[in-house]
Amino acid sequence: MTKNEEFERLKKMAEETGFTHAAFLDVSTIQLMPEVRQMCASNSCHMYDKSWNCPPACGSLEECEKKIRRYQWGILVQTVGELEDSLDGEGMMEAESAHKKHFVELEKLLRPVYPEMLAIGAGACTKCVSCTYPDEPCRFPGQSFASMEAYGMLVTQVCQDNQLPYYYGPCTIAYTSCFLIA
């Protein structure tokens, strides 16, 4: 199977899982930025230094770079939600929840076929109600995930560099994740 045929198969799986958009991801376009990691350190999401899959526990930018560069391509997946208005927090949370559900479903389908794949999500890992960090090892090291931002990726830039829109107009929100395959 060619890389293009393989991607088309993955794209169909992504859409069947519930993602609204999927695009080919050229891993060479990914840039890890200290500025993004600094945004994590500002702790606006309240997860910095509280999870094995968030900074600093997820690894330095150099360590993340080393993991990413083992791959050549992957798939970007998005869930775009409609909001009542720009302050529709409930709509944002519903879209995020749907995205995470799709992400877990697709990861379960892909893992047996690509056991070495790197799944990178949107937002903090939610596999467990409370993370064991820093007192105990991760309960599910093969099933937990870091976010694109935790890795230092500026999501809008990754999307732009791989011809996937990020902005879909007023009263929408897009959640983006990726699976690095080969």
Rounded to two decimals, the pTM is 0.93
Measured N-to-C along each axis, helices 89-110 and 3-17 cross at an angle, to the nearest 10 degrees, of 130
Phi, psi of 127 (to 5 degrees): -60, -40
CA distance from start to end of the chain: 13
Q: Please provide the average confidence, as pLDDT, over all residues in the chain.
A: 94
Pairing of strands 118-120, 73-82: unpaired
Structure tokens, 91: 């709509």
Question: Over the stretch 45-93, which tens digit does the pLDDT of each residue have?
Answer: 888 999 999 999 999 999 999 999 999 999 999 999 999 999 999 999 9
